[in-house]
Amino acid sequence: MKPNYIPSQTTLTGQKNATEHKNCIGQTTCAYCGVGCGVDIHFEKGEPVAIEGTPSHPANYGKLCVKGNHLLETLTSEDRLITPQIDGKSVSWHLATDMIADRLIETIRSHGPDSVAFYLSGQLLTEDYYVANKFMKGYVGSANVDTNSRLCMSSAVAAYIRAFGEDIVPCSYSDLEQTDLLIIIGSNAAWTHPVLYQRIERAKQINPAMQIVLIDPRRTATVEIADKHLALKPGTDAAIYNGLLNYLANYDGLDKCFIEKHTENFDGCLAEAKQWSVNRVASFCELKVQEIESLYDLFLCSPRVISFYSMGINQSSSGTDKCQSIINAHLASGKLLRPGCGPFSITGQPNAMGGREVGGMSNMLTSHMDIENATHREQVKTFWQSPTIASKAGLKAVDMFEQMRSGQIKAVWIMATNPMVSLPNRPIITEALKACETVIVSDCVARNDTLEYANVVLPVSGWLEKDGTVTNSERVISRQRGLIGPNGEVKHDWQIICEVAKKMGFDGFDYQHVHEIFNEWTALTGYKNNGSRQLDLSAIGRLSQSEYNNLKPQQWPIKPGGDSRVFVDRQFSTSSGRAHFHPVTPRLPIQTTSEQFPIVMNSGRLRDHWHTMTRTGRSARLHAHTEHPYIEINPSMARTLDIVDGDLIRAQSSTGEVIANARVTDSVRKGQCFMPIHWSKQYASHAKVSALYQSVIDPISGQPESKHTAVRIEKMNYAQHGFLFLTSDINLTVDYWSKTRISKGWLWHFAMHQEGLELRHFLQEQLTDRYQWLQFNSSHLQSVVAQSSGELKAVGYLSNVPVKINSDWLNQLSISDSISDDQLNRLLHAQTDPTFENGKQVCSCFKVYEKSIVTAIKEGHRSVAELGKKLQCGTNCGSCKTELSQLIKTHAEDTHHDIHALVL
């Protein structure tokens, strides 16, 4: 019989390699988003060979999106961090942890507990997070322990706490299947929470009466599922919900009984909302009165409504109020805590929720206790038997880096996040890391933009090696299992923290196995809880190692009978037991446009990349969807600025600049542009979009305003444009470059201000191996091709205009054993083999390209299902289905025009 999981025997001293198990399936969870899908890993002869969704996991019931499907490709040992380093030199663990312990002790002794800080991540496991938080708050005695969740969830958290008295997400995924109206606001779920999106899509197929309204200034892939799209002026969402509350009051849409019995401060809240007539909302949000009215009518008349929100709401200088305005409308209408209803904040990272539960942020305690509450502090201290407890909230991410810059924080330990790329205002973050005397970075990769500033670098186990639990967006706790042995000398994050803690003389960190941390933490959630907080995991009980290894996904609150709805008795976690309304005055973004910077820059995610690409960047297949960074601009702006699609353009803000290819599209509104967040210094010279944002934050949550900054845009005029294929990676020192991975190497686009580069010479200098070189020069093009034993090793072009070469063709040539004279000739003349002119790869699972899809559409395959039957596209993970629908819309019309033209 096949085991349904592989236990990993992890101890502080050694690890048992789970791959000793031969042919079997190991179960764990996906490394990426907050949907928290279960994955089955198939092992053959101890090697992970295939991945599929776990059929029984309640988050995904067997489905996986494109990122999940390609997870195994990210497990390469290339560029893995495998040994600890001090100042760039490999050292033993013993030395590294000694040094950290000494430095922290010394810093705390000389400058006090608040001179040290931890900067953590929603990609840590709950157990890692728990010990890090215990270390700082209970033993160092400072609450300077913050996390990248500050950039992600903190506004949602602040609003839930303000409204419910506790950080409770009051919905489940199954609610999405039972609702009448789903408002998707500030989320591009089609790309960012794809498996959830597919659940919604299916729910709508089963119940076509279900209405979906998308509210996003951009027309994103998520529009495919929506009955209506409200492309509002960015930053104006709170007005929509204020106006809604007013409308509900005017048209008998209030649940007076619920308001009366279970809430407080409604009148104050309504008084503010009263000022928002439909007309005022429409003009504030730059929408039509009729668009607003029909949304409000839908809300009023639908018995069950969900507002599904994410970064378009949270990442704002008024994010907490925006979330609160959403909660206000649901409280007022009583449309929450019932099936198919509620204000549903969707978490981004795989364990953002776990981090919130253990109190991983600087203004929280642990187990949903309040750091400002002396009784809570005392309870936690007693439970931990810790020498101290932080007496006040610590610094939030942006302020924490500011205090590094000003010298108050002298030691920081960064784990599982890449702040140089993800925090706003890169110049400030650079100064902060340079100024900080001790920068410790725990990561899995050998290179990222933050590691460059570390004095001490620690190699950590990554996905499939690390072992613990995660909590997803609907409060389901799942095991993330360590199914393969660790690379090199890597250790788990919790192990490293515990080793340092012990060296510092702290006595609460003597765990032999990760399940002991889990047991301690779940017991703490129940300690003196007495029903005062929904987060009580004590019913899970003390688990043995094998029970822990076998732990099935569990949604909390954990109750007999399996109903895990929250606040069933309508007793909220506030001191009065009532939910709190809070009046909201809509505020516009702080980083506004000006004469100097007239255009709004929005930022967000792509379908096939994850954050700063340290993982998805390892998969050639995931690169294929979007090879190079781009900026979306509206056609009217493009005309004014004389920009055409594909031109290199520069966006400059008051803090920095980016350069990328223009994508001219009417999916962004006039006066706005959009850039994906994923490119770091490792992948492009000028595409770090966060550098454009100022350190502007929400006053309550401290969340940065990462969706709205002001830029000016101009076209770049380079003297020379180049294109390279190389089998190995190089440091390209030119004015502009970006690179993408193909299966046997890298492709670069580059550009230079100066003329006169001799390409062959330049490449020969970069490459140490000896190759056979072919060269072709014309008045406008230099081409070189290098081979070794018939294999293609390098291709380069330089011209005064951008050189377009099909990457699949190069990929194909790079993997063939020999290249024909005809292909060499084509290479030298930069003429792609016509069979490869396929357009972009739309379906990553079956490698289906735009050209064949368009041909099939023109042949009459006019639905996603028909395209799937013909070409297989969209039939595996389904992540490309929205793009297929968009192609059908565009090209079915084209065919219509073609026919029309023929008839004429």
Ligand X SMILES: Nc1nc2c(c(=O)[nH]1)N[C@H]1C(S)=C(S)[C@@H](COP(=O)(O)OP(=O)(O)OC[C@H]3O[C@@H](n4cnc5c(=O)[nH]c(N)nc54)[C@H](O)[C@@H]3O)O[C@H]1N2
Binding site for ligand SF4 (CB under 6 A): 30, 32-33, 35-37, 60, 64-65, 67-68, 193-195
For residue 399, CA distances in Å to 406, 496, 653, 677 come to 10, 26, 21, 22
Min separation Cβ 237 and ligand X, Å: 5
- Helical ranges in 392-478 per DSSP H: 397-405, 419-422, 426-435
The residue among 61 and 383 lying less far from ligand SF4, judged by its C-beta, is: 61
Token pair belonging to 420: 């140089």
Q: From CA 263, how far away is CA 406, in angstroms rounded?
A: 44
Residue 492 backbone dihedrals phi, psi, to 5 degrees: -75, 150
Q: To the nearest 5 percent, what fractions of the chain are helix, strand and coil? A: 35, 20, 45
Specify the DSSP element, H or E, that contains 849. strand 848-849
Min separation Cβ 190 and ligand X, Å: 9
Choose the one of Mo ion, ligand X, ligand SF4, none that binds residue 185, judging by a C-beta under 5 to 8 angstroms depending on kind.
ligand X
Min separation Cβ 751 and ligand X, Å: 24
Residue 630 backbone dihedrals phi, psi, to 5 degrees: -150, 165
CB-neighbour burial class of residue 374 (10 A; exposed 0-12, middle 13-18, buried 19+): exposed
**Torsion angle, alpha carbons of 90, 94, 96, 102, to 10:** -150
Q: Which of 113, 84, 79, 114 is nearest to 100 (CA)?
A: 84
Per CB under 5 A, does 319 bind Mo ion?
Answer: no
Per-residue mark of binding to Mo ion, 133-162 (x: CB under 5 A): -------------------x----------
Min separation Cβ 348 and ligand X, Å: 2
Min separation Cβ 502 and ligand X, Å: 19
The residue among 353 and 710 lying less far from Mo ion, judged by its C-beta, is: 353
Q: From CA 614, how far away is CA 678, in angstroms rounded?
A: 9
The residue among 612 and 626 lying less far from Mo ion, judged by its C-beta, is: 612
Token pair belonging to 142: 């400072």
The residue among 266 and 679 lying less far from ligand X, judged by its C-beta, is: 679
Choose the one of Mo ion, ligand X, ligand SF4, none that binds residue 195, judging by a C-beta under 5 to 8 angstroms depending on kind.
ligand SF4
- Residue from 194, 234, 348, 589 touching Mo ion (CB under 5 A): that is 348
Pairing state between β 745-752 and 736-742: antiparallel
Min separation Cβ 384 and ligand X, Å: 23
Choose the one of ligand SF4, Mo ion, ligand X, none that binds residue 416, judging by a C-beta under 5 to 8 angstroms depending on kind.
ligand X
The residue among 121 and 242 lying less far from ligand X, judged by its C-beta, is: 121
The residue among 57 and 669 lying less far from ligand SF4, judged by its C-beta, is: 57
Min separation Cβ 706 and Mo ion, Å: 10
Cross-strand partners of 413: 118, 440
The residue among 123 and 142 lying less far from Mo ion, judged by its C-beta, is: 123
Q: Are 178 and 339 in contact (CB under 8 A)?
A: yes
Choose the one of Mo ion, ligand SF4, ligand X, none that binds residue 192, judging by a C-beta under 5 to 8 angstroms depending on kind.
ligand X
Q: How many residues bind Mo ion (CB under 5 A)?
A: 2
Choose the one of Mo ion, ligand X, ligand SF4, none that binds residue 37, judging by a C-beta under 5 to 8 angstroms depending on kind.
ligand SF4
Q: Which residues contact 299 (CB under 8 A, 6 or more apart)?
A: 181, 183, 244, 247, 248, 253, 305, 329, 333
Min separation Cβ 470 and ligand X, Å: 11
The residue among 152 and 742 lying less far from Mo ion, judged by its C-beta, is: 152
Q: From CA 360, how far away is CA 380, in angstroms rounded?
A: 14
Q: Name the CA radius of gyration of the chain, rounded.
A: 27
Q: From CA 215, how far away is CA 114, in angstroms rounded?
A: 42
Q: From CA 815, how far away is CA 594, in angstroms rounded?
A: 51
Residue type, 150: R
Q: From CA 302, how far away is CA 741, in angstroms rounded?
A: 48
Choose the one of Mo ion, ligand SF4, ligand X, none that binds residue 35, judging by a C-beta under 5 to 8 angstroms depending on kind.
ligand SF4
HSE-up (13 A, CA, CB side) for residue 801: 6
Min separation Cβ 39 and ligand SF4, Å: 7
The residue among 194 and 394 lying less far from ligand SF4, judged by its C-beta, is: 194
The residue among 549 and 690 lying less far from Mo ion, judged by its C-beta, is: 690
Min separation Cβ 634 and ligand X, Å: 13
The residue among 64 and 871 lying less far from ligand SF4, judged by its C-beta, is: 64
The residue among 262 and 615 lying less far from Mo ion, judged by its C-beta, is: 615
Q: Which of 145, 651, 636, 29 is nearest to 417 (CA)?
A: 145
The residue among 179 and 347 lying less far from ligand X, judged by its C-beta, is: 347
Choose the one of Mo ion, ligand SF4, ligand X, none that binds residue 707, judging by a C-beta under 5 to 8 angstroms depending on kind.
ligand X
Choose the one of Mo ion, ligand X, ligand SF4, none that binds residue 603, judging by a C-beta under 5 to 8 angstroms depending on kind.
ligand X
- Cα separation of the two ends of the chain: 69
Q: 354: helix, coil or strand?
A: helix
Min separation Cβ 537 and ligand SF4, Å: 22
Choose the one of Mo ion, ligand X, ligand SF4, none that binds residue 399, judging by a C-beta under 5 to 8 angstroms depending on kind.
none
**In the complex, which residues of this chain contact ligand X (CB under 6 A)?**
33, 67, 121, 123, 148, 151-152, 185-189, 191-192, 215-218, 220, 234-235, 237, 310-312, 315, 348-349, 415-419, 421-422, 442-445, 448, 460, 462, 466, 493, 602-605, 607, 609-612, 614, 677, 689-690, 693, 706-707
Min separation Cβ 93 and ligand SF4, Å: 32
Choose the one of ligand SF4, ligand X, Mo ion, none that binds residue 148, judging by a C-beta under 5 to 8 angstroms depending on kind.
ligand X
Q: Which of 706, 589, 694, 692 is nearest to 650 (CA)?
A: 692
Min separation Cβ 551 and ligand X, Å: 19
The residue among 191 and 809 lying less far from ligand SF4, judged by its C-beta, is: 191
- CB neighbours (10 Å) of residue 473? 27
Residue 255 backbone dihedrals phi, psi, to 5 degrees: -95, 85
Per CB under 5 A, does 217 bind Mo ion?
Answer: no
Min separation Cβ 332 and ligand SF4, Å: 32
Q: 692: helix, coil or strand?
A: helix
Min separation Cβ 482 and ligand X, Å: 11
Cross-strand partners of 747: 725, 740
For residue 347, CA distances in Å to 153, 169, 189, 377 come to 7, 10, 11, 27
Q: Which of 901, 903, 897, 891 is nearest to 860 (CA)?
A: 891
The residue among 26 and 165 lying less far from ligand X, judged by its C-beta, is: 26
The residue among 311 and 649 lying less far from Mo ion, judged by its C-beta, is: 311
Q: From CA 892, how far away is CA 729, in angstroms rounded?
A: 42
Min separation Cβ 55 and ligand SF4, Å: 14
Q: From CA 503, how far away is CA 290, in angstroms rounded?
A: 66
Query: Mind giving me the DSSP string for 429-442?
Result: HHHHHHH-SEEEEE
Q: From CA 325, how far away is CA 585, in angstroms rounded?
A: 9
The residue among 677 and 856 lying less far from ligand X, judged by its C-beta, is: 677
Q: Which of 109, 118, 133 is nearest to 411 (CA)?
A: 118
HSE-up (13 A, CA, CB side) for residue 74: 26
Choose the one of Mo ion, ligand SF4, ligand X, none that binds residue 60, judging by a C-beta under 5 to 8 angstroms depending on kind.
ligand SF4
Min separation Cβ 349 and Mo ion, Å: 5
Q: Which stretch binds Mo ion (CB under 5 A): 341-349, 460-468, 527-535, 848-856?
A: 341-349
User: Which residue ranges make up the site for Mo ion (CB under 5 A)?
Assistant: 152, 348
